[in-house]
Structure 1
Amino acid sequence: MPATLFHRFVLTIGFLSLFHVAYSAAQHRSYLRLNELDFTHLPLDVIIQAFISLFVIMYGVMNVAGDFKEIKASAELENRFWETFKNVPSFYTFSHRGRFLNPSYSSYKGDDE
């Protein structure tokens, strides 16, 4: 499912709500310090808003992230043949010391000497 404008909006609202929860928690702590009260817990509305924001963000991320791949490693390797496992292009070396050791070495195919 492609990420629609609605899902991005939901994700943005979730993050804004989570930032508001953090600001409310900091505001509550500063209120307790000013009134010299002990901190026991956050107010219930802040905790509820934090959980709702968390679930809204999870919903938005799952729809914006796109399709997930399988975790199984064999799912990606099912279509490969045994001969292709030894053929690793990242180990190809085209610039090596052979041209310096042999004066008649030609690095280009089709060069006539």
Structure 2
Amino acid sequence: MASFHKVIVIIGFLSLFHTAFSATQHRSYLRITSQEFTTLPLDIVIQAVVSLFAVMWGVLNVAGNLREIPAAAELNAIKWETQNNLPSFYIFNHRGKALSYDYVPTPTKADLENLE
């Protein structure tokens, strides 16, 4: 059955190619006869729509059954306690260390020059 759908896809693509070629020929015919382009003929439009639907139907059937992708599949394996564990946001050198009782400020460049 899949080979039938593949044939439908191939025929649909060939029909779409033929539609594009027909539209190009129609435009060049209008240029040669110095007519103004308004719309494509109805047969070209119908062929384009039918071939597009044939290709879509064939591709959906060739692809097989669609399966659901669980959006939270990765999150199911992670425990709630580790959700907020973001190592990239760890900051160890911040001004909160000055609140520590054993904080010794690091000497600045000016302090080091004054020692000499």
TM-score, reference length from structure 1: 0.63
| Matched ranges for 1:10-21 at <5 A | 10-21=8-19
Which of 78, 81, 106 is equivalent to 1:82?
78
Point out the structure with max Rg over C-alpha.
Answer: 2
Unaligned runs of 5+ in 1: 87-113
Q: Distance in 1 between matches of 2:78 and 2:18?
A: 55
| Matched ranges for 1:90-105 at <5 A | none
| Local SS of the residue matching 1:82 | coil
* Residue correspondences, number: 80
TM-score, reference length from structure 2: 0.61
If each structure's helix is expressed as a fraction of its own residues, which one has the higher value?
Answer: 2
Q: Distance in 1 between matches of 2:10 and 2:19?
A: 14
Which of 42, 52, 60 is equivalent to 1:62?
60
Q: Distance in 2 between matches of 1:21 and 1:35?
A: 21
Q: Which portions of structure 1, spanning 4 or more consecutive aligned residues, are displaced by more than 3 angstroms? A: 80-83
| Local SS of the residue matching 1:7 | helix
Unaligned runs of 5+ in 2: 83-116
Percent identity, aligned pairs only, is: 52
